[in-house]
Amino acid sequence: MAKKIGLYGVLAFCLYVLFFYWYLFYFSQSSLPFEYQGTKADPATFLNERELMLTEEYSKIRNFLFFISTPIEWLFYLLILLFGLSKTFKRWSEQSAKYRILQQAIYLIWLSVAAFIATTPLSYVSYSLSKKYNISTQSFSSWMKDELIDFWINYGTLFLIVSVLYWLMRKSGKKWWFYGWLISIPFTLFMMFLQPVVIDPLYNDFYPLKNKELETKILDIANSAGIPAEHVFEVNMAEKTNALNAYVTGIGSNSRIVLWDTTLNRLTEDQILFIMAHEMAHYVEKHLYIGIAGYLVFSLLGLYIISRLMRAIVSRWGEALKISAVNDIASLPLFLLLLSMLMYVSSPFSNTVSRYQEMRADRYAIEMTQNSEAAIGTFQELTKAGLSQVNPPLLVKIFRYGHPTMLERITRIEEYELEQRNQQ
């Protein structure tokens, strides 16, 4: 049975990879519909021929890597179970420590190291690709440092979650998913509170915006939007990337406005103010809190589905997967496999909600700044800096895009311009 499950798993993965290779490189089209050609949304009007060619090449390869990365994770967890490695990690941990909490910590080290070894080659390919196309400016040592920081943050977070979840599985039986969800609420809020001041500085240096005149203008917009921000922070991203970004992060007293230095170096002041107005719109329209509420609802539903699936799978295929019970720590790869699958399946819905919120933020920003030229110029520069497709294939948009496509964003700005002219 184990061989059959493994064979079907590998075959499904191969068919999945072949489908997306065919779809991205041979079937899908990213050319603009005729009615948009020659408009400000047409990349041929603001990119040269080389940039157009590089955008298509880079986008196709990057999208392909995205679509195969998550299934590789699924295949990894499946093989870890089928080959009995999860059970072996459990046995080693029990031989190494007396107390259960230490055994779980040791088990997670083995599993995390195995996952790191399995996924790092694809991460390196992605890093090398961004270097080749001049998106990334990061040195290998700096990239590896970030990978190791990711490893230890993920390990520490996973250790806390696993310790609580498997304790609940042993103590609460079939209701573990509900009690785990209740505990996740304060934990999620606490992590969001810590993110800007504890986690983010591990990767980059943050400091108050050097351009005080620009900071004053940004804070004026923030005050008019009712955002309690006292400082705008600048982060040194130029040593890692040529991409552009800005965001509002954190909750409560730790909320802050952040600008990448690449954005400051490349965009005009009016374009930066448009981006800031866009980011502040998320605060004004309570998108962060709507997102938290949505996450909690989906996590409740997700944990319930996982609990039902784990019981059914262990009952039917537990012997083949080398899992004796749901509350056995050796079942963790199955939990992570199901969690990853649910997140992947639900991503089209969450991306749709996100795109709607981003569209609302664009509208808010253009109404606040009243500068459509700066707005369109911003989107054109973002396209150029990230080598992004203006009109990506449908499946790429559905599964990857939490923002509207550049075609949609620029077109809406042009429609807004037309509305304003008609009202005059």
* Residues identified as active-site: 279
The structure tokens listed for 100 are 């259960």
Find the helix or strand (DSSP H, E) in which 328 lies. Answer: none
**CA–CA dist 73, 76 (Å, integer):** 5
Around Cβ 366, how many Cβ atoms within 10 Å?
22
* Pick from 355, 371, 364, 357: nearest CA to 408: 355
SS3 381: helix
Phi, psi torsion values for 219, nearest 5 degrees: -70, -30
Amino acid code (one letter) for 423: Q
* Pick from 242, 224, 245: nearest CA to 233: 245
* Pick from 246, 253, 244: nearest CA to 215: 246
- CA dist list (Å): 398 to 76, 340, 419: 25, 17, 29
Q: How far is CA 366 from the centre of its chain?
A: 26
